[in-house]
C-alpha cells in the first residue's frame, strides 16, 4: 500500500502487534523465558490469555516477575529449571544481523543470563529499533559500585562518554553506566572488550548471543527476520 494511504499506526500499536505475534513462538507445556520493558510487558499481558497452556515462566527482572504473578502466571527460579526453549524480549536497538543493545530498563544482566539458557531468542520490537549500526542508543553497562570510576575511565579509553544512571540500582544491587557516543563497528568484539574490564558485570551488547528471530512491528504488519545460519 502506498505510504500516503496507510493508516497511521503508533508505536504502542506496533509493540502490541509484535507481542501478540510472539505467542506463535510459545512452546506448549514449556517454561517460557520472559524479558523486561514496555514491549515485554505487552507480551506478558498476551501470555495471560494462554497461561493454562504453559508450565510457567522465568523472568529477567523483578518487575516482569511481579507482572507475571499479577496475571496468575507461575514464575520459577531459573536454578529450578532445566530447559527454556524460548526467550521473548525487546531491544533498544537491533541490526539486520540481529545483534542488539539492551538494558534501557536496567535488566541487562538477568536478560543475558536467561538468553544464555534459552534455546531460541525471539526479539520483539517496533520498527524504530532497527538500525544499520549500533551505538546511537547509549550503551548500558552494569558495574560493581566500587569499580564505577575505574570502569568509567576504561570506557572513556574505548572512545565513549560514560554517564552514571542517576538514582538507579539494578536488581543485583549494582550501578549502570550509560555510554554515549561509542562507535561499535564490530559489536561482538566490543562486547568482549568491555566484558574484560574488571568490575563490569554485564555489557548491554547482545552480539555473541544475539537474537535468533526478530518480530519487527511496521506499518505494513509484523515482519519476521531470522539470523543467518
Query: Which residues are annotated as catalytic?
Result: 111
Name the burial class of residue 84, with classes exposed (0-12), middle (13-18) and buried (19+) by CB atoms within 10 angstroms of its CB: buried
* Cell 524480549 belongs to residue: 89
Size, binding site for ligand 5RP by CB under 6 A = 17
Please list the alpha-helical segments (H only) found in 62-147: 62-70, 108-117
Candidates 17-25, 34-42, 147-155, 181-189 — which segment interacts with ligand 5RP by CB under 6 A? 34-42
Q: Is 178 in the site for ligand 5RP (CB under 6 A)?
A: no
The answer to whether the CB of 45 falls within 8 A of the CB of 29 is no
122's enclosing H/E stretch is: strand 120-126
Candidates 31-39, 112-120, 147-155, 221-229 — which segment interacts with ligand 5RP by CB under 6 A? 31-39
DSSP state of 84: -
Candidates 33-41, 50-58, 150-158, 171-179 — which segment interacts with ligand 5RP by CB under 6 A? 33-41
Name the burial class of residue 170, with classes exposed (0-12), middle (13-18) and buried (19+) by CB atoms within 10 angstroms of its CB: buried
Output the smallest distance, CB 124 to ligand 5RP, in A: 8
Output the smallest distance, CB 4 to ligand 5RP, in A: 28
Q: Within positions 97 to 116, which residues make up the interface with ligand 5RP, using CB under 6 A?
A: 102-108, 111
Output the smallest distance, CB 184 to ligand 5RP, in A: 16
Nearer to ligand 5RP, 9 or 150 (CB): 9
∠ CA 94-26-41 to the nearest 5 degrees?
60
Q: Which stretches of the chain bind ligand 5RP, using CB under 6 A? A: 35-39, 89-92, 102-108, 111
Amino acid at each position: 500500500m502506498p505510504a500516503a494511504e496507510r493508516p497511521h499506526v503508533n508505536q504502542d500499536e506496533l509493540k502490541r502487534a509484535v507481542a501478540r505475534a510472539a505467542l506463535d513462538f510459545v512452546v506448549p507445556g514449556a517454561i517460557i523465558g520472559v524479558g523486561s520493558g514496555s514491549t515485554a510487558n505487552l507480551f506478558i499481558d498476551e501470555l495471560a490469555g494462554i497461561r493454562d497452556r504453559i508450565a510457567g515462566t522465568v523472568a529477567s527482572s523483578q518487575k516482569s516477575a511481579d507482572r507475571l504473578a499479577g496475571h496468575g502466571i507461575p514464575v520459577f527460579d531459573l536454578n529450578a529449571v532445566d530447559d527454556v526453549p524460548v526467550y521473548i524480549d525487546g531491544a533498544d536497538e537491533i541490526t539486520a544481523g540481529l545483534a542488539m543493545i539492551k538494558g534501557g530498563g536496567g535488566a541487562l544482566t538477568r536478560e543475558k543470563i536467561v538468553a544464555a539458557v534459552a534455546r531460541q531468542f525471539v526479539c520483539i520490537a517496533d520498527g524504530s529499533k532497527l538500525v544499520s549500526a549500533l551505538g546511537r542508543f547509549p550503551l548500558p553497562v552494569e558495574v560493581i559500585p566500587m569499580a564505577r570510576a575505574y570502569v568509567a575511565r576504561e570506557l572513556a579509553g574505548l572512545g565513549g562518554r560514560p554517564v552514571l544512571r542517576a538514582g538507579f540500582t539494578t536488581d543485583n544491587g549494582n550501578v549502570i553506566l550509560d555510554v554515549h557516543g561509542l562507535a561499535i563497528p564490530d559489536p561482538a568484539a566490543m562486547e568482549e572488550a568491555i566484558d574484560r574490564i574488571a568490575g563490569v558485570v554485564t555489557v548491554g551488547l547482545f552480539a555473541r548471543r544475539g537474537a535468533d528471530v526478530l518480530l519487527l512491528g511496521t506499518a505494513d504488519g509484523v515482519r519476521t527476520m531470522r539470523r543467518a545460519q
